[in-house]
Amino acid sequence: MKILVVDDSATMRRILVNSLQRIGYSDCVEAGDGREAVDKFDGSIQFVITDWNMPNMSGIDLARALRALPEGKSVPILMVTTRSVKEDIIAAVQAGVNNYIVKPFTPQVLKEKIDAVLSGVAAAA
Amino acid sequence: MHSATATVSPARLAQAGKYLTFFLANEEYGVEILKVHEIIGILPITRVPRTPAFVRGVINLRGKVIPIIDLRDRFGMSREGAEEQVIIVVQVHGIQLGVVVDKVSEVLSIADGDIEPTPSFGVDVSTEYLLGLAKGEGRVRLLLDIDRVLTASEIDSVHAAAAAEG
Amino acid sequence: MSPYSLNDLAARLIAFEATDEDFRDILETLQVMADDRALPEGVRALMGDALVRWIAAPADTRERAAVDLQQVVVAAQGRLDLRDRLTVALHSEPAPSPARESAAPPAAQQSAAPLLPPDSDLSLLTDFIAESRELLEHAEAALLGLEIDPDDAEAVNTIFRAFHTIKGTSAFLALDYLNEFAHHAETVLSRVRDREIRCTGGYADLALRSCDMIRSLLDATQDALEGRGDALPDGYDALLSVVREPEAAGISELGGRAPRSDDDANETPDGTMLLSARDAFAASERSAARRPGSGSDRSADSSVRVRTARLDRLIEMVGELVIAESMISQDPILKQGGHIELNRKVTHAEKIVRELQDLSMAMRMVPLKAPFQKVARLVRDLGARSGKRIEFVAEGEETEIDRNMVDFLGDPLVHMVRNSVDHGIEPPEERRAAGKPETGTVRLSAYHASGNVVVALRDDGRGLNREKIVRKAMQQGLIATAEGMSDKEVYELIFSPGFSTADQVTDVSGRGVGMDVVRRNIEALRGRIEIQSVPGQGTTFLVRLPLTLAITDGMLVRVGGERYIVPTINIHLSFRPSRAALSTVAGRGEMVMLRDEVMPLVRLHRIFGVDGAKEEPTDALLMVVGDGNQRTALLVDELLGQQQVVAKTLGDGLGRVPAISGGAILGDGRVGLILDVNELLTLARHGDVSDHMHTPSRAVA
């Protein structure tokens, strides 16, 4: 599965990519902001993990932008955040985010989240 | 312009020379070839809000944005049955504009003897936009004063009127 | 401790009656629990999942959702029980936040807990330290901006994001001290962001000290990494207790000092911010100096003269190249997939083209030195003529901007400075009587923030006179009454066309040129101007400009079948309103409430006469645009994404089209129209939305 990892922090991207590798996902594409993510997003991306608070384009805006693309209508989107504020999560879900995960997390929890999102998407399809 | 009435300068007369002819509905029109910049196929037109109805919008002409004028609307003709396959890009007072027409016919040499003055009735187009008629090969072509067509004199006169009042 | 527990949740579920109120109660409970660090991660994850499902549950399936949620509660309880039995497993859970644990600072643990966890990933740590230092530089530069404009939401967000990112990443790296400190610093900034407090006085000082402390912690971590010791920075505990409970430590918007680790001999109670701000400025200059073509390294280079027309043409051509390139990379054939090798080549070309674009833009960037020097001379001359004593301070004159804009910036700057000198700075005797130094200060500063250039002109004069402005505005019929108008709204009136007071025509400022001209000039540069003023303390003009006019950062939005580009500089935020936030006010039209702010709702499709657009705001999106008291929510169908566009005129043939500043070629080759937001809002205010078809604009040629 090809995963697009979006975070303005290069360190966070490394952490995510490392974690993903440890749970068996080694095909990752990185993007440093929402704009780059939209640029890099194509039909080959099967999963998107994005930070919430990024300069220029927030994770929520990114989700909206991806949902507007023909290839992005149904791609699973997982949002990474440090706090689960109700308004933010509601906004995120409305923008098309499938689920979110709170920092910090272990690779195992990340795996559970990804599995949950994938099974949810499969169930909805 | 300082007067509230639209001052129409004396009509220019058609001169002999080469004309590009094209169709709008069933009528054939001619425009001086020197005014024509190029002929392109129809391109997607972006509508521009709050402009007169005869302004269809703008297109991307190799990176340059140019306005597109709908001659049918300009002449108060119905758009029904319009084929709109071609845009004629003309240059008027140094400004490029596109004109949507049904199809281009030919480039025609018109001699002095073929040109007749515009009759005051009997044609769809207001006579102030015409330089004259050209007859030949059993057909009549209306020769357009494209400068005048695209200079929107009545709109200028609206401004002039407003300025005169204010 | 968390106000909610699994037991609360279970109790609420049993009592659940599918009302909106019950629904919200459970939503809130889930949200608090999902974020409760005292709970094991697995339980939090369960609550988070449940929360997402709960939000998405349609109203008629809430009963069903409640039953499902009960299952989740049972599962979560199982996990909690498991944890109690397997206390050994506890260390695999992230440590609960020390803040929740107890109020005692972790001083006692200092020697016990090492700065660096034993199993650290060294290269990851190195990256983290470098990245965090950079974030701090941005935060400090933004703090300087806040000193001038405490309400600058972007600056607040920049600082918040720095703390937020450092907190989030340090948690992964198990850097507990850093994590805890950044957590509290973030909390303070989130209160600023939520407009609970303003980042001025003691809070601004605290934020700067927090940056210093985080930097010291990073240094210490680096030292530990290189085996040079494992000591917490001096003053960690003291500052931690302040940042944890700022008010308890006497911090307020007016003042209050955060403890410092080192003594500064030059320090005066009100000199602290200034000094720190200068440091922050130096930091922003340092970061600017790393960019190619910026001021500091120019002297070392040799140079060549190029005709500007040629340079402009080059930049225009590169703009075309960018568009042509993006048309290739967005070609459906490439998007189909399968052409891996070709895709790779296109991506490579794309990268080169982007670099070329950056480079060509940098070639036309010049420092603001020239207009700044013009202002310096002007202040001296004006001061001498008016008998006022004025010190002029320029900061950031190395800040670069498109040379095509520099010339147009001169005039508005001159007007602003005249205004400050004539009306702001008091004569020496008046200043003395007010207990101020006889010499007034006019401070002109410039810096980059969020891809824009900010130019701020600040004086320490008497500030704007609300009563006088109100009187003049009423005389001129601009307003009927000032009742209910905030000071900010009143100050904005000086930008109204025709607002010029008789007092304004003085010997010095000459013909009494109105500030409306200044605003128009700034808006012509696609910028924004704001004013801030405190009676007796001074006035600040804050001008925010794009780096260049050649390229616009825009948001592509869809309205019905049309697409428009809204310059990013005009957009504050976008949101989807709830039904409850919408209302119609007699005589004022549709309004929408965002947090505590009520603003007019303007339907873009009505103004532009677009068919087939979404009519229902709760299905569509609102973009908050405009300045100060003119903030307006613009209804659009959806955002299509952010992009840079090369702005072009619509061709001379069309003349000036209201509310459209130009066009740009989009990725699919079609023309997209760039909105002129200020004009659009003027149109909307005048309410003439019906005659969009036959407006007598100067039409053709």
Nearest to B95 among C659, C670, C701 (CB): C701
d(CA C342, CA C215): 45
- Give me Rg for the CA atoms of chain A: 13
Same domain, C397 and C317: no
CB proximity B10 to C under 8 Å: no
Residue located via tokens 């000092």:
C257
Answer whether C640 sits within 8 Å of A42, measured CB to CB: no
Domain that holds residue B145: 17-150
8 Å CB contact between A98 and A121: yes
Q: How many CB atoms are located within 10 Å of the residue C49 CB?
A: 21
pLDDT tens per residue, range C129-150: 888 988 888 888 888 777 777 7
Answer whether B67 sits within 8 Å of C608, measured CB to CB: no
8 Å CB contact between C38 and C90: no
8 Å CB contact between A100 and C48: yes
Instruction: Determine, yes or no, domain membership for A118.
Output: no
Instruction: Determine, yes or no, domain membership for B7.
Output: no
DSSP state of B46: B
Contacts of residue A64, defined as CB under 8 A and 6 or more positions apart, other chains included, come to A95, A96, C621, C638, C639
- How far is the alpha carbon of B76 from chain C, nearest alpha carbon, in Å? 14
User: What b/e sequence results for C375-400 when a residue is b if at least 16 CB atoms lie within 10 Å of its CB, and e otherwise?
Assistant: bbebbeebbeebebbbebebbbbbbb
Nearest to C693 among B53, B57, B158 (CB): B53
8 Å CB contact between C169 and C182: no
Answer whether C574 sits within 8 Å of A61, measured CB to CB: yes
Q: Quick one: B2 exposed, middle or buried, by C-beta within 10 A (0-12, 13-18, 19+)?
A: exposed
Residue type at position C53: R
Please give the pLDDT value at position C268: 35
With a cut of 60, say whether residue B108 has pLDDT above it: yes
- CA C654 distance to own-chain centroid: 36
Pairing mode, strands C589-594 and C582-585: antiparallel
CATH number assigned to the domain comprising residue C141: 1.20.120.160
Answer whether B50 sits within 8 Å of C649, measured CB to CB: no
| Residue of B43, B45, B48, B73 to mutate for C, most C C-beta atoms under 10 A | B48
Q: How confident is the model at residue A6 (pLDDT cuts 50, 70, 90)?
A: very high
pLDDT tens per residue, range A91-124: 888 888 888 888 878 888 888 889 888 887 655 5
8 Å CB contact between C189 and C247: no
Contact list in B for residue C662 (CB cut-off 8 A) is 65
Answer whether C31 sits within 8 Å of A84, measured CB to CB: yes
CATH number assigned to the domain comprising residue A39: 3.40.50.2300
Residues of chain A with pLDDT > 70: what percent?
A: 93
- How far is the alpha carbon of C675 from chain A, nearest alpha carbon, in Å? 19
pLDDT tens per residue, range C313-355: 888 788 778 777 877 877 778 877 778 888 888 888 988 988 8
Answer whether C696 sits within 8 Å of B155, measured CB to CB: yes
| Residue of C33, C41, C47, C556 to mutate for A, most A C-beta atoms under 10 A | C41
Q: Chain C 666-685, CB below 8 Å of chain B: which residues? A: 669-673
Contacting subunits of C (3+ beta carbon pairs below 8 A) = A, B
For C572, nearest residue in chain A (alpha carbons):
A56
Contact list in A for residue C157 (CB cut-off 8 A) is 55
Same domain, C516 and C375: yes
Domain that holds residue A59: 2-111
3-state secondary structure of C460: coil
Same domain, C408 and C536: yes
Instruction: Determine, yes or no, domain membership for C301.
Output: no
Contacts of residue C349, defined as CB under 8 A and 6 or more positions apart, other chains included, come to C325, C328
CATH number assigned to the domain comprising residue C672: 2.30.30.40
Instruction: Determine, yes or no, domain membership for B158.
Output: no
Answer whether C648 sits within 8 Å of B65, measured CB to CB: yes
Same domain, C379 and C526: yes
Nearest to C698 among B92, B95, B159 (CB): B159
Same domain, C51 and C117: no
Instruction: Determine, yes or no, domain membership for C444.
Output: yes
Instruction: Determine, yes or no, domain membership for A72.
Output: yes
- How far is the alpha carbon of C648 from chain B, nearest alpha carbon, in Å? 7
CA angle (C468 as vertex; C464, C472 as ends), nearest 5:
120
Contact list in C for residue B46 (CB cut-off 8 A) is 562, 663, 670-673
- How far is the alpha carbon of C571 from chain A, nearest alpha carbon, in Å? 11
Please give the mean pLDDT across all residues of chain A.
Answer: 85
8 Å CB contact between B156 and B1: yes
CB proximity B93 to C under 8 Å: yes
Same domain, C200 and C239: yes
Contact list in A for residue C638 (CB cut-off 8 A) is 64, 68
User: Where is pLDDT greater, at A85 or C645?
Assistant: C645
Instruction: Determine, yes or no, domain membership for B155.
Output: no
Total structural domains within chain B: 1
Instruction: Determine, yes or no, domain membership for B62.
Output: yes
Instruction: Determine, yes or no, domain membership for C281.
Output: no
Contact list in C for residue B64 (CB cut-off 8 A) is 648, 651
3-state secondary structure of B160: helix
3-state secondary structure of C615: coil
Total structural domains within chain A: 1
Total structural domains within chain C: 5
Same domain, C572 and C524: no
Cα C23 to Cα A115, C26, C71, distances in angstroms? 27, 5, 17
Q: Which among C143, C395, C158, C184 has a CA at the least distance from the CA of C273?
A: C143
For B147, nearest residue in chain C (alpha carbons):
C701
Nearest to C697 among B50, B63, B64 (CB): B50
- How far is the alpha carbon of C50 from chain A, nearest alpha carbon, in Å? 10
Same domain, C379 and C324: no
φ/ψ (deg, to 5) at C399: -60, 135
Contacting subunits of B (3+ beta carbon pairs below 8 A) = C
Same domain, C323 and C392: no
Instruction: Determine, yes or no, domain membership for C196.
Output: yes
Answer whether A90 sits within 8 Å of C124, measured CB to CB: no
Contact list in C for residue B96 (CB cut-off 8 A) is 651, 653
Contact list in C for residue B63 (CB cut-off 8 A) is 320, 323-324, 665
- How far is the alpha carbon of C216 from chain A, nearest alpha carbon, in Å? 19
Instruction: Determine, yes or no, domain membership for B90.
Output: yes
Please give the pLDDT value at position C96: 39
Query: What average pLDDT does the segment A30-59 reach?
Result: 89
First vs last Cα of chain B: how many Å apart?
A: 14
Low-confidence ranges of chain C (pLDDT < 70): 1-4, 78-121, 255-302, 450, 498, 500-514, 627-629, 687-701
Q: Which among C509, C503, C553 has a CA at the least distance from the CA of C527?
A: C553
Answer whether A84 sits within 8 Å of C48, measured CB to CB: yes
CATH number assigned to the domain comprising residue B87: 2.40.50.180
Contacts of residue C658, defined as CB under 8 A and 6 or more positions apart, other chains included, come to B50, C679, C683, C695, C697
Contacting subunits of A (3+ beta carbon pairs below 8 A) = C
Q: Do chain A and chain B touch with ≥3 beta carbon pairs under 8 Å?
A: no
Instruction: Determine, yes or no, domain membership for C696.
Output: no
Answer whether B65 sits within 8 Å of C699, measured CB to CB: no
For C651, nearest residue in chain B (alpha carbons):
B66
Contact list in A for residue C127 (CB cut-off 8 A) is 10-11, 14
Among C54, C74, C89, identify where a domain stops. Answer: C89
Instruction: Determine, yes or no, domain membership for C578.
Output: yes
- How far is the alpha carbon of A15 from chain C, nearest alpha carbon, in Å? 8
Contact list in B for residue C650 (CB cut-off 8 A) is 48, 58, 65, 67
Instruction: Determine, yes or no, domain membership for C556.
Output: yes
Please give the pLDDT value at position C585: 81
Domain that holds residue C63: 6-89
| Residue of C2, C23, C31, C68 to mutate for A, most A C-beta atoms under 10 A | C31
Contact list in B for residue C636 (CB cut-off 8 A) is none
ipTM tops the 0.85 cut: no
Please give the pLDDT value at position C559: 95
Same domain, C486 and C563: no
For B47, nearest residue in chain C (alpha carbons):
C562
Same domain, C582 and C668: yes
d(CA A98, CA A118): 9
